[in-house]
């Protein structure tokens, strides 16, 4: 609910400076207007999770856990999936993993 309220206060625009930087950079410019009149500005040419600034396995697992919690999956199910993905190279087949993900 808090996120939904925040989304209503966010304005997204295509910025000419970000566009000019090129698609290889994925430039993001951010300006936050505070209630007290102050502005906070930032820039990132390579957002977290991009090929140039990838997530670690732990960060991906944490994000997955958050999504699983939002979907009301049991923590044990999410833990099991994360564990299987960590060992995916040594799994004999993917049936258990895919069935865990689909239901």
How many distinct structural domains can be found in the chain? 2
Q: Is the residue at 83 inside a domain?
A: yes
Q: Is the residue at 38 inside a domain?
A: yes
* Measured distance CA(42)–CA(59) in Å, rounded: 22
Q: Is the residue at 91 inside a domain?
A: yes
Which is more confident, 72 or 53? 72
Q: Are residues 96 and 65 both part of a single domain? A: yes
Q: Are residues 37 and 62 both part of a single domain? A: no
Residue 92: left (phi > 0), alpha (psi -120 to 50), or beta?
alpha
Q: For 11-38, how does the pLDDT look when each residue is reduced to its tens digit (9 = 90+)?
A: 888 888 778 877 777 788 889 999 999 9
pTM of the predicted model, to two decimals? 0.63
* Measured distance CA(40)–CA(48) in Å, rounded: 19
In this predicted structure, the answer to whether residue 1 has a pLDDT above a threshold of 70 is no
- pLDDT number for residue 103: 66
Note down the domain range covering 77.
57-102
Q: Is the residue at 89 inside a domain?
A: yes
- pLDDT number for residue 61: 97
């Amino acid at each position: 609910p808090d996120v939904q309220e925040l989304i209503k206060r966010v304005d997204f625009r295509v910025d000419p400076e970000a566009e000019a930087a090129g698609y290889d950079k994925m430039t993001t410019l951010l300006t936050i207007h505070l209630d007290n009149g102050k502005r906070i500005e930032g820039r990132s040419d390579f957002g977290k999770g991009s090929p140039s600034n990838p997530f670690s396995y732990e960060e991906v697992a944490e994000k997955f856990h958050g999504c699983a919690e939002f979907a009301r999956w049991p923590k044990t199910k999410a833990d099991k999936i994360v564990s299987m993905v960590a060992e995916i190279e040594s799994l004999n087949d993917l049936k258990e993993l895919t069935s865990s993900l689909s239901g």
